[in-house]
Structure 1
Amino acid sequence: MRYVISILGILVVIFLAWLVSSNRKEIKFKPIITMLIIQVLLSLFLLNTEYGLIIIKGVAKVFSVLLEYANEGVSFVFGGMANAGEAPFFLTVLLPIIFISVLIGILQHLKILPFFMKGVGWVLSKVNGMGKLESYNAVASLMVGQSEVFITLKKQLHLISKQRMYTLCASAMSTVSLSIVGAYMTMIEPKYVVTALVLNLFGGFIIASIINPYEVEPNEDILKIQETEKQSFFEMIGEYILDGFKVAVIVGAMLIGFIALMTAINEVFDLLFNISFQNILGYLFAPIAFIMGIPLSESVSAGGIMAVKLVTNEFVAMLDLSGGDHQFSERTMGILSVFLVSFANFSSIGIITGAVKGLNEKQGNIVASFGLKLLYGATLVSILSGIIVSLIL
Structure 2
Amino acid sequence: MQFIIFIVALLVIFILAYIVSNGKKKIKAKPVITMVVLQLIFAFLLLNTEFGLIIIRGISSVFDHLLAFAAEGINFVFGGMANEGTSPFFMNVLLPIVFVSALIGIAQYIKLLPLIIRFLGLLLSRINGLGKLESFNGVASAVFGQSEVFISVKKQLPHIPDHRLYTMCTSAMSTVSASILGAYMTMIDPKYVVTALVLNLFGGFIIANIINPYEVTPEEDIIETFGERKQSFFEMLGEYILDGFKVAIIVGAMLIGFVALIGMVNGIFESAFGITFQVALGYVFAPLAFLVGIPASEVVQAGTIMATKLLTNEFVAMIDLGNIASSVSERTVGIISVFLVSFANFSSIGIISGAVKGLHEEKGNLVAKFGIKLLYGATLVSLLTAAITGIMLG
Place the TM-score, normalised by the shorter chain, in its bin. Answer: over 0.9
Tell me the residue number matched to 1:167. 167
Task: Specify the code of the residue in structure 2 equivalent to 1:377.
Answer: G
The residue aligned with 1:19 is 19
1:303 maps to 2:303 = yes
The within-5 A match list for 1:35-46 is: 35-46=35-46
Q: Distance in 2 between matches of 1:347 and 1:376?
A: 13
Which secondary structure state, in structure 2, belongs to the residue aligned with residue 121 of structure 1?
helix
Distance (whole Å) between structure 2 residues aligned to residue 118 and residue 326 of structure 1: 42
Who is 1:8 aligned against?
Answer: 8
Aligned to 1:289: 289
SS of residue in 1 equivalent to 2:327: coil
Aligned match of 2:216 = 216
* Secondary structure at the counterpart of residue 343 of structure 2: coil
Matched, 1:84 2:84: yes
Question: What is the alpha-carbon distance in structure 1 between the residues aligned to residue 141 and residue 231 of structure 2?
Answer: 23
Runs of 4+ in 1 over 2 A off after TM superposition: 323-326
Whether 2:140 is the aligned partner of 1:140: answer yes
Q: How does 1:107-146 map to 2 (within 5 A)?
A: 107-146=107-146
User: Over residues 191-227 of structure 1, what are the superposed CA-to-partner deviations in whole Å (9 max), with x where a residue is unaligned?
Assistant: 0000000000000000000000000011001100032
Q: Deviations over 1:317-349 (max 9, x none)?
A: 001101246611001100000000000000000
SS in 2 for 1:128: coil
For residues 89-130 of structure 1, what are the alpha-carbon distances to aligned partners after superposition, in whole Å with 9 as ceiling and x for unaligned?
000000000000000000000000001000000000011011
CA–CA separation in structure 1 for the residues paired with 2:81 and 2:99? 20
Matched AA of 1:98: V
Alignment of 1:191-206 (within 5 A): 191-206=191-206
Q: Distance in 2 between matches of 1:147 and 1:252?
A: 17
How far apart are 1:83 and its partner, in Å?
A: 1.5
Is contact 2:308-2:316 (8 Å) kept?
yes
1:293-332 alpha-carbon deviations (Å, 9 max, x no partner):
1011100010000000000000000011012466110011
Partner residue in 1 for 2:346: 346
SS in 2 for 1:127: coil
Equivalent residue letter for 2:135: S
Partner Cα separation in structure 2 for residue 247 and residue 26 of structure 1: 39
Give 3-state SS (helix, strand or coil) of 1:220's partner: coil
Alignment of 1:1-393 (within 5 A): 1-324=1-324, 327-393=327-393
- Give distance in 2, aligned partners of 1:221 and 1:80: 54
| Matches of 1:341 and 1:86, distance apart in 2 | 26
Gaps of 5+ in 1: none
Deviation at 1:5, TM superposition (A): 0.5
Q: Secondary structure at the match of 2:204?
A: helix
How many residues align? The count is 393
3-state DSSP of counterpart to 1:155: coil
The TM-score with structure 2 as length reference comes to 0.99
Cα deviations by residue, 1:64-87 (Å, 9 ceiling, x for unpaired): 000000000000011011111111
CA distance in 2, matches of 1:276, 1:36: 37
SS in 2 for 1:221: coil
Task: In structure 2, give the amino acid aligned to 1:170.
Answer: T
Whether the 8 Å contact between 2:345 and 2:375 is mirrored in structure 1 is yes
TM score, norm. by length of structure 1? 0.99
Task: Check conservation: 1:301, 1:326, Cα contact below 8 A.
Answer: no
Distance 2:326 2:59 in 1: 28
How far is 1:368 from its partner?
A: 1.0
In 2, the alpha carbon distance for the partners of 1:49 and 1:338 equals 18
Percent of pairs with identical residues: 64
Residue type matched to 2:308 in 1?
Answer: V
